[in-house]
């Protein structure tokens, strides 16, 4: 479980950094997320920040062997899997 805890904490820290870098680089922002409307972009960022928070909390809970951390880690890693698959789909086939 320690590996899962470490992975959750690292992924929870890296996920917001990816968005900070994507949104601060002007050239990347226009090329990658030009098809997102302002509302979709806000909800996507909010969902990914909530995923990051769930990963951090569950990773720290797993490291301390707390009973509620396992279901939360399962849920948070599922959210992370969803966003990874979703972002790959958008990279190769952006919506019209």
Chain segment 34-84, per-residue pLDDT in tens: 556 666 777 888 888 999 999 999 999 999 999 999 999 999 999 999 888
- 0.85 surpassed by pTM: no
Domain count, the chain: 1
CA distance 92 to 51: 23
Q: Give the structural domain span for 10.
A: 2-92
Chain segment 71-96, per-residue pLDDT in tens: 999 999 999 998 888 777 766 665 55
CB 51 within 8 A of CB 4: no
Other C-beta atoms closer than 10 Å to the C-beta of 2 total 9
Q: Give alpha helix (H) positions in the chain.
A: 2-24, 26-33, 38-63, 69-92
Radius of gyration for the alpha carbons in the chain, expressed in angstroms and rounded: 15
Q: Pick the closest to residue 84 from 46, 36, 48 (CA basis).
A: 48
């Amino acid at each position: 479980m320690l590996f899962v805890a470490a992975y959750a904490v690292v992924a929870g820290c890296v996920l917001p950094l990816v968005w900070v870098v994507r949104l601060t680089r002007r050239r990347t922002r226009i090329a990658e997320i030009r098809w997102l409307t302002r509302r979709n972009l806000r909800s996507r960022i909010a969902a990914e920040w909530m995923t990051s928070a769930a990963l951090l909390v569950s990773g720290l809970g797993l490291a301390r062997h707390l009973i509620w951390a396992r279901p939360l880690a399962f849920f948070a890693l599922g959210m992370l899997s969803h966003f990874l698959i979703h972002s790959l789909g958008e990279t190769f086939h952006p919506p019209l």
